């Protein structure tokens, strides 16, 4: 691997494969956004730029940062003032014509920013599979899940029963717990081969055969259930690219994107790297940005070896960012002393010195001592000691937790200042490895009266709140059962003490049962969300929880569990009994859900408090002062003999899963696994300390696990060649350890201090006194923008004429033509099934729901409709009549504009039901002007033919719709978007209105009278924006197919009957889109 070169953000734009190593705090997102702006200004169309990150949160930030960078660059070029930004100075260099061209490109990119592809890896894979069609193995109707843990568990259990129910010797291979562990590891690494080879009948080989069988069975189950996981998206796209048609698929992807920028690339895995390499290594530019020193997600399947393979491919195009914009200069020198020129788990992953930003060259935290302090916990200061003279682990952990609290008190009470302000609790963060450690520190801080909040500290299903929810749900299954009622009485939902329960009389117990019956009715009738609100109101839940110590934490957990229960009940239609079983299942899974974001406990408060969170959760964040209490604690799961993942040196470093759990080969593989795991421990230490802006405090204690801990190995196990041993050897005495730390500190004079952690049992924080502070009611002096709102078509036309739709977002008005033209009247045929169907809005809602669920192309359409209408609140004759009427409508040709297609001819892949949209009006969050119906009318008048049948609608819109000023957002839901065989896309809207005149002119009059033409225009603008964003090479004139309004009561089977077809000029839709986006410039 060649030595990296400093990256020049102002130099030539990268070409080919380039790897940009960005150490912590060096501004990789800033660099990436600047590169995006430079590529665009250089002439790259925004839609030919692909930006990828690995999480939704990171992708959201990336999208915001890129857009902000484009805005800043465009404004700088408009004003001619670079504002001290070197990139802006570069873009402003050149003759006037060149600068004007760059600005025009940036302006065009901003206007089409919603066409930019800035997405997660999984989002890109899903879009690519869809774009590749059949070659992409794309199942458009599949449900996408983060993981398939429940299906995997079912496959495991079924195979255990099927194979071993009648063979006790087979059951001795492993327990169900071992089987589940094997399944989780193999499913988590779906592309990794499984060893040992399973051609023999050894116990280890049979375990491997079991793992392979479950993997295959899980794949069948997912396809049968039409379920896809994020990993499936990766493996399917990778398989396409490595298959016989792979080169054609890769060319198709490269035809869409010239430049690809991938963020956080150290978190990639082999499948993702295969996709990126095969598809884009031959592109104009593939820039991979990451930091291997922060590769800490192996437990999620990330593989730093894939990053290292990319470095090898890049060759001499490996660059580094050399300036740290986060940390103070003295703290960076302390990091140099701590890490030196060491390798962090691999000799290709090196710690690199970085320079501080000029404005951070000196310490910004004053009067706080050395920026890096190491506190040594001495065994003779009250820590229990083992027979071998080592600190007893639990005792040492508890001692350190108490010292963390005491240190927090000392820092908050000290004279330390940042910019003249004393330290506040919110300036401190405690970073730990495990949820157990987080809980211990949190409790110690609370005992010292230091406000603290925990984020990412374990699963919410492992909390007392989850247990109390389970007690409640079990009681609501049988609200009359005394033992269950008693359990609820002692829970937070009722709040009785044991004494109150023992002394409760008949009246109190009857009231308790009455309350439980009421709550059960609410749960059955209205769901979990309504139950939560009833609990808060009737049971005074919030008041009771907030009155006790730690109540804010408890209330947060109770609401969080309630929210997850609501989602599960809604998605899976679970009643109380099934919901209780679901919650038990989630509790049983605690510790196996791979740090699921939804299940992770939330911050209980945004108040000024010390944050306690895991190192994994802290990645990407920064804090003024960081405390790392447990980098000395090296006891991890790597000692267990379970299934392991390692890189096999006999197969070119291939990522491999070993499920043998015994034998000489497994032992050798286990040693490799431990070495890799401890390399990641070093990277975790790097991530932890580099979150700090000004100061870091570390702790060390001499326990049996200390020798394998990252802190001990960094100081005591470091080799002269920069390697760090997986084991630091014999645990030294406390004085010897202190001397070793002091020797290390000599390498960074004045930047590292070593001190003894003496007990401070009486440490309590006393917030600064506010006595004498004059209090006054806050004054609201901000002006409110009364015109800013979230508008819909129905809200815009409310009150227009005599027959305007009501206030529902997508109404079905009962429109009756007061003055029908007799000669054009074509009423519904006598005996039409619609005669037996009642009208009204409820019918409109019912029809919309049924048509959304039905597969028009089903071989048995009657059965599909019957199932969709099974729960309709209609009597049997009306239900049968509606079913017959809808069959006729679905079989009616839609007219020439739709290529005489019927709804029945639409395949599921060619329809998009209930497309919800939310579009910015006149600037959205940052209003740029106003929008009025009159301005829309002006655009209509300018584009509609003066002699056309709809020519008068512009004036009608101007006079009938109430004058109003709109800005904010336009929201709505399109009933159906259909793709025609011609490749055009049309908007379809279902109407169940009763119309006396169903002739073309009658339909046109109804469309104008109810302002459905305005609705159609707004929906076509939404479709235009959607296609502009999603479809490569989109051309409004070629791809927009207009609108079809289906008046279902008139669709009697004749071609075009009951269908109002309108194909407005594409220029009208584009002009209206621009008007909605920017407002009326007048």
For residue 807, pLDDT beyond 80:
no
Q: How confident is the model at residue 177 (pLDDT cuts 50, 70, 90)?
A: confident
Comparing 817 with 644, the larger pLDDT belongs to 644
**pLDDT (tens digit per residue) in 368-407:** 999 999 999 999 999 999 999 999 999 999 999 999 999 9
Half-sphere exposure of 255 (CA within 13 A, CB side): 11
For residue 541, pLDDT beyond 90:
no
Of the listed ranges 134-148, 191-205, 253-267, the least confidently predicted one is 134-148
Strands 788-791 and 318-321: unpaired
Q: Are 863 and 947 in a shared domain?
A: yes
Q: Of 581, 604, 632, which residue constitutes the final position of a domain?
A: 581
Q: Are 247 and 295 in a shared domain?
A: yes
SS3 content of the chain, % helix, strand, coil (to 5): 50, 15, 35
Q: Are 218 and 291 in a shared domain?
A: no
Of the listed ranges 691-705, 910-924, 1054-1068, the least confidently predicted one is 910-924
Secondary structure class of 228 (helix, strand, coil):
strand
**pLDDT (tens digit per residue) in 655-700:** 999 999 999 999 999 999 999 999 999 999 999 999 999 999 999 9
Cα separation, 101 vs 685, whole angstroms: 48
For residue 134, pLDDT beyond 50:
no
- Alpha helices by DSSP H, listed for 190-303, are 203-225, 230-242, 246-256, 270-280
| Residue 557, marked binder | no
438: in domain: no
Of the listed ranges 310-324, 635-649, 877-891, the least confidently predicted one is 635-649
Question: DSSP characters for 836-876?
Answer: GS--SHHHHHHHHHHHHH--TT-S-HHHHHHHHTTT-SS-H
Cα separation, 400 vs 416, whole angstroms: 23
Query: Which pLDDT score, from 0 to 100, does residue 829 have?
Result: 45
Q: Are 164 and 121 in a shared domain?
A: no
Confidence (pTM): 0.73
926: in domain: yes
Q: Are 67 and 216 in a shared domain?
A: no
Q: How confident is the model at residue 824 (pLDDT cuts 50, 70, 90)?
A: very low
Q: Of 225, 248, 277, which residue constitutes the final position of a domain?
A: 225
Q: What is the mean pLDDT of residues 427-444?
A: 93
Query: Which pLDDT score, from 0 to 100, does residue 802 have?
Result: 43
Total domains present in the chain = 5
602: in domain: no
253: in domain: yes
Of the listed ranges 7-11, 908-912, 1003-1007, the least confidently predicted one is 908-912
813: in domain: yes
β strands within 676-823, DSSP E = 692-701, 752-756, 788-791
The strand order across the sheet containing 365-366 reads 365-366, 417-418, 421-422
Active-site amino acid positions? 989
Tokens, residue 349: 């992953």
CA-closest candidate to residue 390, choices 704, 728, 757: 704
Residue 90 to residues 99, 871, 968: CA-CA distances in angstroms? 10, 66, 36
Query: Which pLDDT score, from 0 to 100, does residue 575 have?
Result: 77
Question: DSSP characters for 574-618?
Answer: --HHHHHHHHHHHHHTTT-STT-TTTBPPPS--SS-EEEEEHHHH
Q: Please give the angle made by the CA atoms of 136, 138 and 142, to the nearest 5 degrees.
A: 160
The torsion angle over the Cα atoms of residues 78, 79, 82 and 83, rounded to 10 degrees, is: -130
Q: Are 304 and 171 in a shared domain?
A: no
DSSP 192: S
Cα separation, 77 vs 395, whole angstroms: 63
Q: Is the distance from CB of 999 to CB of 825 less than 8 angstroms? A: yes
Whether omega for the bond prior to residue 59 falls within 30 degrees of 0, making it cis, is: no
Q: Are 366 and 314 in a shared domain?
A: no
Q: Is the distance from CB of 445 to CB of 612 less than 8 angstroms? A: yes
Query: Which pLDDT score, from 0 to 100, does residue 140 have?
Result: 60
Q: Of 581, 616, 645, which residue constitutes the final position of a domain?
A: 581
566: in domain: yes
| Residue 989, marked binder | yes
For residue 809, pLDDT beyond 50:
no
Question: DSSP characters for 281-317?
Answer: TTSSEEEEEE-GGG---GGGT--HHHHHHHHHHHTT-
Q: Are 737 and 839 in a shared domain?
A: no
For residue 166, pLDDT beyond 70:
no
Q: Are 901 and 963 in a shared domain?
A: yes
Any idea what the CATH number is for the domain that residue 961 is in?
3.90.320.10
Q: Is 826 exposed, middle or buried (0-12, 13-18, 19+ CB in 10 A)?
A: middle
| Residue 2, marked binder | no
Q: Is the distance from CB of 894 to CB of 1049 less than 8 angstroms? A: no
For residue 638, pLDDT beyond 80:
no
Query: Which pLDDT score, from 0 to 100, does residue 1046 have?
Result: 94
| Residue 26, marked binder | yes
603: in domain: no
Q: Is 880 exposed, middle or buried (0-12, 13-18, 19+ CB in 10 A)?
A: middle
Cα separation, 253 vs 907, whole angstroms: 25
Q: Which domain holds residue 164?
A: 143-225
| Residue 25, marked binder | yes
| Residue 975, marked binder | yes
Any idea what the CATH number is for the domain that residue 103 is in?
3.40.50.300
Percent of the chain with pLDDT over 90: 51
Q: Are 888 and 968 in a shared domain?
A: yes
Q: What is the mean pLDDT of residues 924-936?
A: 83
| Residue 252, marked binder | no
**Residue 154: how many CB atoms within 10 A of its CB?**
14
Q: Is the distance from CB of 959 to CB of 953 less than 8 angstroms? A: no
Q: What is the mean pLDDT of residues 40-46?
A: 96
Cα separation, 162 vs 214, whole angstroms: 12
Secondary structure class of 509 (helix, strand, coil):
helix
What sign does the CA torsion over 674, 679, 685, 687 have?
Answer: negative
Q: Are 198 and 285 in a shared domain?
A: no
**Residue 1059: how many CB atoms within 10 A of its CB?**
25
405: in domain: yes
| Residue 907, marked binder | no
Q: Are 845 and 752 in a shared domain?
A: no
Residue 996 to residues 536, 950, 992, 1010, 1062: CA-CA distances in angstroms? 52, 20, 13, 15, 21
**pLDDT (tens digit per residue) in 995-1022:** 888 899 999 999 999 999 999 999 999 9
Secondary structure class of 811 (helix, strand, coil):
coil
């Amino acid at each position: 691997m060649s030595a990296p070169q400093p990256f020049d953000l102002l130099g030539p734009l990268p070409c080919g494969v380039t790897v940009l190593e960005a150490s912590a705090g060096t501004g990789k997102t800033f660099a990436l956004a600047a590169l995006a702006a430079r590529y665009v200004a250089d002439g790259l169309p925004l839609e030919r730029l692909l930006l990828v990150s690995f999480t939704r949160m990171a992708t959201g930030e990336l999208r915001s940062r890129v857009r902000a960078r484009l805005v800043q660059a465009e404004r700088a070029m408009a004003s001619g003032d670079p504002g001290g930004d070197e990139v802006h100075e570069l873009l402003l260099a050149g003759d006037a014509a060149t600068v004007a061209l760059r600005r025009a490109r940036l302006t065009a990119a901003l206007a089409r920013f919603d066409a930019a592809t800035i997405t997660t890896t999984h989002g890109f894979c899903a879009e690519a599979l869809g774009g590749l069609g059949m070659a992409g193995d794309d199942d458009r109707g599949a449900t996408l899940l983060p993981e398939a843990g429940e299906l995997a568990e079912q496959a495991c259990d079924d195979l255990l029963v099927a194979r071993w129910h009648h063979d006790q010797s087979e059951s001795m291979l492993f327990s169900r717990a071992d089987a589940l562990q094997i399944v989780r590891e193999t499913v988590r690494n779906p592309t990794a081969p499984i060893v040992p080879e399973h051609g023999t009948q050894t116990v280890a080989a049979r375990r491997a055969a079991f793992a392979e069988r479950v993997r295959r069975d899980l794949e069948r189950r997912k396809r049968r259930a039409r379920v896809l996981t994020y990993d499936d998206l990766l493996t399917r796209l990778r398989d396409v690219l490595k298959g016989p048609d792979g080169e054609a698929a890769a060319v198709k992807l490269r035809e869409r994107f010239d430049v690809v920028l991938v963020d956080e690339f150290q978190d990639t895995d082999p499948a993702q790297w295969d996709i990126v390499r095969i598809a884009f290594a031959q592109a104009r530019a593939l820039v991979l940005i990451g930091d291997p020193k922060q590769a800490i997600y192996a437990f999620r399947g990330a593989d730093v070896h894939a990053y290292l393979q990319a470095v090898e491919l890049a060759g001499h195009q490996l660059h580094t960012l050399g300036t740290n914009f986060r940390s103070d200069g003295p703290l960076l020198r302390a990091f140099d002393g701590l890490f030196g020129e060491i390798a962090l788990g691999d000799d290709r992953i090196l710690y690199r010195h970085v320079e501080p930003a000029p404005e951070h060259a000196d310490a910004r935290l004053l009067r706080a001592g050395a920026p890096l302090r190491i506190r040594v916990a001495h065994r003779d200061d009250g820590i229990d000691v083992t027979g071998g003279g080592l600190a007893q682990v639990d005792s040492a952990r508890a001692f350190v937790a108490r010292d963390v609290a005491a240190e927090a008190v000392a820092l908050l009470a000290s004279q330390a200042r940042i910019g003249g302000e004393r330290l506040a609790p919110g300036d401190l963060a405690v970073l730990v490895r495990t949820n157990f450690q987080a809980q211990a520190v949190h409790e110690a801080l609370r005992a010292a009266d230091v406000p603290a909040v925990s984020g990412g500290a374990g699963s919410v299903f492992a909390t007392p709140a989850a247990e109390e929810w389970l007690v409640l749900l079990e009681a609501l299954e049988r609200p009359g059962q005394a033992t269950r009622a008693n359990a609820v009485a002692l829970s937070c939902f009722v709040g009785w003490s044991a004494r109150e329960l023992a002394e409760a009389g008949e009246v109190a117990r009857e009231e308790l049962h009455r309350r439980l019956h009421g709550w059960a009715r609410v749960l059955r009738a209205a769901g979990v969300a309504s139950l939560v609100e009833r609990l808060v109101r009737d049971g005074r839940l919030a008041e009771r929880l907030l009155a006790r110590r730690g109540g804010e934490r408890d209330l947060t957990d109770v609401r969080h569990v309630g929210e997850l229960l609501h989602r599960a009940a809604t998605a899976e239609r679970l009643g109380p009994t099934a919901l209780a079983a679901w919650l038990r299942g989630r509790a049983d899974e605690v510790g196996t859900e791979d740090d699921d974001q939804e299940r992770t406990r939330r911050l209980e408060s945004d108040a000024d408090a010390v944050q306690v969170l895991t190192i994994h959760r802290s990645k990407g964040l920064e804090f003024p002062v960081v405390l790392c209490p447990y980098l000395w604690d090296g006891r991890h799961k790597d000692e267990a003999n379970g299934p392991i993942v390692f890189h096999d040196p006999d197969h070119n470093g291939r990522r491999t899963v070993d499920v043998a759990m015994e034998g000489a080969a497994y032992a050798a593989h286990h040693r490799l696994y431990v070495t890799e795991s401890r390399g990641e421990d070093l990277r975790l230490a790097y991530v932890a300390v580099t979150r700090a802006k000004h100061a870091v405090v570390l702790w060390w204690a001499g326990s049996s696990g200390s020798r394998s801990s990252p802190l001990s190995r960094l100081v005591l196990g470091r080799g002269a060649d920069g390697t760090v041993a997986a084991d630091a050897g014999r645990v030294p005495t406390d004085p010897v350890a202190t001397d070793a730390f002091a020797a290390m500190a000599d390498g960074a004079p004045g930047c590292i201090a070593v001190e003894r952690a003496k007990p401070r049992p009486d440490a309590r924080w006393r917030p600064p006194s506010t006595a004498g502070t004059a209090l006054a009611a806050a004054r609201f002096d901000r002006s409110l923008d009364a015109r800013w709102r979230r508008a819909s078509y129905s809200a815009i036309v409310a009150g227009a004429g005599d027959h305007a739709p009501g206030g529902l977002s997508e109404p079905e008005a009962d429109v009756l033509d007061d003055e029908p033209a007799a000669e054009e009247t074509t009423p519904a045929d006598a005996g039409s099934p619609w005669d037996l169907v009642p009208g009204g809005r409820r019918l409109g809602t019912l029809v919309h729901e049924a048509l959304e669920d039905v597969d028009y192309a089903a071989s048995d359409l009657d059965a599909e409709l019957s199932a969709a209408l099974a729960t309709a609140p209609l009597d049997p004759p009306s239900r049968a009549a509606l079913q017959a009427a809808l069959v006729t409508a679905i079989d009616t040709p839609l007219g020439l504009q739709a290529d005489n297609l019927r709804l029945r001819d639409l395949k599921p892949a060619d329809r998009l039901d209930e497309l919800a949209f939310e579009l910015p009006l006149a600037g959205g969050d940052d209003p740029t002007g106003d929008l009025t119906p009159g301005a829309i009318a002006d655009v209509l008048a300018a584009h509609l033919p003066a002699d056309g049948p709809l020519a008068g609608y512009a004036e009608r819109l101007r006079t009938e719709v109430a004058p109003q000023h709109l800005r904010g957002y336009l929201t709505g839901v399109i009933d159906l978007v259909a793709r025609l065989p011609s490749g055009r896309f049309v908007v379809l809207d279902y109407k169940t209105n009763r119309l006396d005149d169903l002739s073309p002119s009658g339909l046109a009059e109804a469309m104008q009278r109810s302002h459905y033409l305005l609705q159609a225009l707004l929906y076509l603008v939404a479709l235009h924006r959607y296609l502009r964003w999603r479809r490569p090479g989109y051309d409004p004139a070629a791809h927009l197919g207009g609108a079809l309004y289906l008046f279902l009561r008139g669709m009697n089977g004749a071609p075009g009957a009951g269908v109002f077809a309108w194909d407005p000029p594409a220029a009208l839709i584009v002009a209206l889109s621009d008007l909605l986006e920017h407002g009326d410039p007048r």
